[in-house]
Structure 1
Amino acid sequence: MVDALDARIVKLYTLEPRTSILEASRQLGVARATLVSRLDKLQATGAIRSWAPSLQPMNFGYPVLAFCFLTIEQDKGHGAVVDALVDIPEIIDVHTVSGESDMLVKVAARSNSDLQRVLDAISATKVVVRSSTMLALDTHFEARTLPLFEASAE
């Protein structure tokens, strides 16, 4: 469970990720030890997964974003597909899903023809039977978890 202080801490570090512990404790009006203890707890529980930078592929040469729905070899299992896809750097996210497809994959590419190369690499894994791809025309927001985290503290 998270509380209002946890939500304030996460909001501060989401909006200003380079804030020092001293400055954050000052802004939040809490002792440094309290802040460090809360941050440690949030990391230990997995609420905060990473302090890594948030990368934007379109800003370093990958402006094409696509979502691929994969049908997989059922006797191979999802683990074999994940093991095969992890070596393709253009694959950003992989999810097992319900419905007509087995997996949903988010892919970044340099161009439409580069996307075709990535799709060919996915097919070459021999664990994907069929794929269906949709291009993202615009992204309005993504990885939007702060409002959800704040709501969980209520």
Structure 2
Amino acid sequence: MAVDALDTRILRLLIERPRTSVREYARLLGVARGTLQARLDRLERTGVIAGSGPYLSAAALGHPVLAFVHIEVTQGHLDEVGDALAAVPEIIEAFSITGAGDLLTRVVARDNGHLEDVVQRLIRLPGVVRTRTEMALRERVAHRMLPLVESVGRDAADRTR
């Protein structure tokens, strides 16, 4: 979906001021409330805006250990292993991947012992051949979308010139 300069400004405000009202966004952007609402509806309908919930901290929820667990799966069992991962609450993301392994999971834990317990649970899942775990030491770049939004907006502006 093409994102134009106004969309970029809207997305920036949503990221920087997520608890602001639609009326206030419209005022800040200098557009009619109806125009803003139509843009927001389109951005949601096309999947650019994929959610609006709060960003939660696993560390503040008592799970400060973060690891990435690569899972190798028996051929033909990717879907069933993927479905089984959804039942493990410490897995906060899982992706099928190329390269070494078949799945990459982002796992949080209370401590190293708890992480080991989670990994052992994964190893016991039917269809799992082996796992490889890499622990995160420090977050260097927090999850972010604003630089990408701004880049897409600049590219769109360049195409219209």
Q: TM exceeds 0.5?
A: yes
TM-superposition CA deviations, 1:87-134 (whole Å, max 9, x none): 001001111111121111000000000001111111121221100001
Measure how far apart 1:30 and its partner are.
0.8
Identity of aligned residues (%): 42
Q: TM-score with structure 1 length normalisation?
A: 0.95
Q: What letter matches 2:72 in structure 1?
A: T
**SS of corresponding position for 2:60:** helix
What residue identity is the alignment partner of 2:135? Answer: L
Q: Note the 1:64-103 alignment, pairs <5 A.
A: 64-76=65-77, 78-103=78-103
Query: Unpaired segments of 5 or more residues in structure 1?
Result: none
What code does the residue aligned with 2:151 have?
Answer: A
1:107 equivalent in structure 2:
107
Alpha-carbon distance in structure 1 between the residues aligned to 2:106 and 2:55:
16
Work out the CA distance in 2 between the residues paired with 1:53 and 1:17: 9
The Cα RMSD (Å) is 1.0
In the TM superposition, residue 141 of structure 1 has moved relative to its aligned partner by: 2.2
Residues 7-16 or 136-145, more deviating: 136-145
- Alpha-carbon distance, 1:60 to partner: 1.3
Please give the secondary structure, in 2, of the residue aligned with 1:60. coil
Pair 1:15 & 2:19 matched: no
Count matched residues: 153
Structure 1 segments, 4+ long, off by >6 Å, are: none
What is the match of residue 51 of structure 2? 50
SS at structure 1 position matched to 2:53:
coil
Q: Measure, in 2, the Cα distance between the counterparts of 1:98 and 1:15.
A: 34
Alpha-carbon distance, 1:143 to partner: 2.4
Residues 5-64 of structure 1 show CA distances to partners (whole Å, capped at 9, x for unaligned) of 111111111111000011111111111001101110000000010001111101110000
Q: Which residue identity is paired with 2:119?
A: L
Distance in 2 between the 1:105 and 1:79 partners?
14
Gaps of 5+ in 2: 155-161
How far 1:75 sits from its partner (Å)? 2.2
**What per-residue deviation string (whole Å, max 9, x for no partner) do you get for residues 57-88 of structure 1?**
01110000000111011121x21111110000
